[in-house]
Structure 1
Amino acid sequence: MITTITLNTAIDQVYEVESLDVGGTNRVSAITQEAGGKGMNVAKVLQYLGAEVNVGGFAGGTNGKKIRQLLKKRAIPSELISVSGESRICLTVLDSLNSKVTELLESGPEISVEEWQSMLEWVKQKSKIVKWFALSGSLPKGLPTTAYAELIQIIHANGAKAVLDSSGDALRNGIEAKPFAIKPNEHEIAAILGKTAITETELLEAGGRFVSEGIDHVCLTLGEEGAIFVNQYGYFKANAPSIDVINTVGSGDAFVGGLLYGLAQNEEISTAYKRAIACGSVNAMYRAIGFIDLGQVEVLMEQITIEKIKDR
Structure 2
Amino acid sequence: MITNVVRGDKVIKFVDGKGLNLARVMTNVLKFRDYFCINILGGEVGKIIEYECKAEGINTKNFWIKDSNRINTALVYEYEKRMFMINEPGPLMSDEEVEEFKKFFKKNITGVSRLVVSGSAARGFDGKDLVEIIEFARNKGCRIEVDISGQWLKELIKVSPELLKINADELKVAFEIPKDDLKGMENFRRNYEIETLIITNGKDGSLTFSNEGVFNAKSNKIYSDFSVGSGDSFFAGLIYGLEKNLGLKESLKIATACGTANTLRYGAAIFDEKDLERVLPEVIVMEVQL
TM-score w.r.t. the length of structure 2 is 0.92
Off by >3 Å, runs of 4+ in structure 1: none
Equivalent-residue separation in structure 1 for 2:175 and 2:241 (angstroms)? 30
Partner of residue 272, structure 2: 293
CA displacement 1:88-147 (0-9 Å, x = unmatched): 011111112212221100110111222222332233233222222321112322122234
**Structure 1, unaligned stretches of length 5 or more?**
1-20
Q: Distance in 2 between matches of 1:65 and 1:230?
A: 41
The alpha-carbon deviation at position 65 of structure 1 amounts to 0.8
Cα-to-partner distance string for 1:131-188 (whole Å, 9 max, x where unaligned): 2232111232212223433332122111112221111110111111122211111111
Q: Is 1:214 aligned to 2:193, yes or no?
A: yes
SS in structure 1 of the partner of residue 125 of structure 2: coil
Partner of 1:255: 234
Name 1:119's counterpart in structure 2: 101
Structure with bigger helix share is 2
Q: What residue is the counterpart of 1:143 in the other structure?
A: 125
Q: Please state whether the residue corresponding to 2:71 is helix, strand or coil.
A: strand
SS at match of 1:209: helix
Distance 1:90 1:204, change over 3 A: farther
Determine whether 1:76 maps to 2:58.
yes
Partner of 2:79: 97
Alignment CA distance shift 1:118-1:263 (3 Å): farther
Say whether 1:243 aligns with 2:215.
no
Distance in 1 (CA, whole Å) between partners of 2:225 and 2:265 is: 6
RMSD: 2.0
1:34 and 2:7 aligned: no
Equivalent-residue separation in structure 2 for 1:183 and 1:177 (angstroms): 15
Q: Which amino acid aligns with 2:265?
A: Y
**1:138-217 correspondence runs (5 A):** 138-194=120-176, 198-201=178-181, 203-217=182-196
How high is the sequence identity, in percent, across the aligned residues?
Answer: 24
> SS in structure 2 opposite 1:184?
strand
> Which has more strand, going by share of residues?
1
1:230 maps to 2:226: no
Partner residue of 1:51?
A: 32
SS in 2 for 1:289: coil
Matched, 1:25 2:21: no
TM-score by length of 1: 0.86
Report the count of equivalent residues. Answer: 288
Rounded Cα–Cα distance in structure 2 between residues aligned with 1:310 and 1:116? 46
The CA distance in 1 between the partners of 2:186 and 2:105, in whole Å, is: 28
Q: Does 1:86 align with 2:65?
A: no
Structure 2 SS opposite 1:280: helix
Cα deviation for residue 232 of structure 1 reads 1.1
Correspondence for 2:258: 279
- 1:292, 1:149 → 2: CA distance? 33
- Distance, in Å, in 1 between the alignment partners of 2:275 and 2:202 is 18
- Higher mean displacement: 136-145 or 179-188: 136-145
Aligned amino acid, residue 107 of structure 1: P
| Cα gap change, 1:100 to 1:124, in 2 (>3 Å) | same
Per-residue CA deviations over 1:55-109 (Å, capped at 9, x if unaligned) read: 1121111111111111111121221210111110111111122122211001101
Q: Which moved further from structure 2: 245-254 or 116-125?
A: 116-125
Counterpart code for 2:273: L
Tell me by how many angstroms 1:298 deviates: 3.5
Aligned AA for 1:166? I
2:139 and 2:40 map into 1 onto residues whose CA distance is 23
Deviation of 1:204 after TM superposition, in Å, equals 4.0
Partners of 1:168 and 1:192 within 8 A in 2: yes
Matched residue of 2:153: which SS? helix
Out of 109-118 and 277-286, give the one that drifted further: 109-118
Question: Relative to 1, partners in 2 of residues 1:285 and 1:261: Cα closer, same or farther, differing over 3 Å?
Answer: same
